[in-house]
Amino acid sequence: MNGPDLSTRPALSRACLEARAFQPIIDALTAHVALLDGDATIVGVNAAWMRYADANQGHQADYGIGLNYLALLEGVQGCVPGDAKSEEDTLIARQVAQGLREVLSGRREKFQLEYPCPSPTESRWFLVTITPFPHPGQLRVVVAHEDLTALKQAQETTLRQTAQLAGAFSSTVDAIALFVEKRDPYTAGHQHQVAVLCERIARRMGLDAARRHGLVLGAKIHDIGKIAIPADILGKPGRLSPPELEIIRSHPETGYDILRGIDFPWPIADMVYQHHERLDGSGYPQGLQGDAICLEARIIAVADVYDAITSHRPYRPARPMETGLCELMNGRGRLYDSEVVEAFIAVMQTPEKAQQL
């Protein structure tokens, strides 16, 4: 790249000489830095800028010094129609040019933009920052292109590992749920069905995706405490004796004891502990009332009651859907959260969803 003869432009020549005073400072920066005058003409560049230019464009005699940076950006805008990469380059150049104009005019204190910059060997990312800096009597602007490639790659690795961990965690929860249900074949599928109901209720209530995900995981293992209950009690076909009933009622606390030491990002241990609590305090094991019961546990309670009523049990056949709905309607506001029940009824009134349940 051959820039203009600076000897014919005294003002530019002076600006370039003044820029050299900053050379030790900007050479210490790892970002690719160019100093511009008030007309957006390049009056100085740092060593990183030169190295990048040499590596990507071949050795440059002047590295753009004396050229107008806005003109360089506008030159990028002759894109090839239909070429997605060319069109993306054009859009980026236009955004940077507009940001530079706003900084030069004083309408903006700083402009920043992340942008991709693929090379033949790798995909790279940069952050361009445009800022003015004090200079006696004249405006000067710094344009810095910082290489974000390593940071982006680290972020992508972290996201990939997080997704893998989340998948492994969900699979572990599913395995625990399956283990619980293997011990109680009469309620096989119950936790899964409760989880499906909970997700639909929560979606209807407008809970965000992250909270719904935690709720579903909690619902899938809400009966984990039953692993400590003897199989002959779980599968007993007749009425349970008072001592046996007490053992059955211990499963929320047992489940809580199993889970409370795990640092979940959701209150899963509390969901398990509280899913048999009732608004009026008549539930167990703590006798909690109202808002002392977490919302997730109130949602699980509604789904759990409905599925228990409408599913086969060793001591009775499955009851009609209407029986489950009637129980929830009769207990709405007293035993069960009114908003949760209303959301559940709305879900059930959607024909295709009701048919799937």
Return the top range by mean pLDDT from 78-82, 238-242, 247-251, 317-321.
247-251
Q: Check pLDDT > 90 for residue 239.
A: no
- The fraction of the chain above a pLDDT of 90, given in percent, is 51
Looking at residue 138, what is its pLDDT?
A: 78
**Same-domain check for residues 123 and 169:** no
Which of 85, 226, 236, 353 is labelled catalytic? 226
Residues 288 and 251 in one domain: yes
Q: What phi and psi values does residue 111 have, to the nearest 5 degrees?
A: -120, 135
Asked if the structure places residue 218 within a domain, the reply is: yes
* pLDDT, mean over the chain: 86
Domain count within the chain: 2
User: Predicted confidence band at 120 (pLDDT cuts at 50, 70, 90)?
Assistant: low
pLDDT tens readout for residues 43-102: 889 988 888 888 776 656 677 788 899 998 888 755 444 555 678 888 899 999 999 999
Q: Tell me, yes or no, if 85 is annotated catalytic.
A: no
- Which of these three, 131, 149, 167, is where a domain ends? 149
Asked if residue 79 and residue 13 are part of one domain, the reply reads yes
Last residue of a domain, one of 149, 172, 197: 149
Q: Which domain does 316 fall in, by range? A: 158-356
Confirm whether pTM is higher than 0.85.
no
What pLDDT, on a 0 to 100 scale, did the predictor assign at position 189?
Answer: 84
pLDDT category of residue 1 using cuts at 50, 70 and 90: very low
pLDDT in tens, 166-216: 888 888 888 888 877 777 766 668 899 999 999 999 999 999 999 999 999
Asked whether residue 76 falls in the same domain as residue 170, the answer is no
Same domain? For 329 and 246 the reply is yes
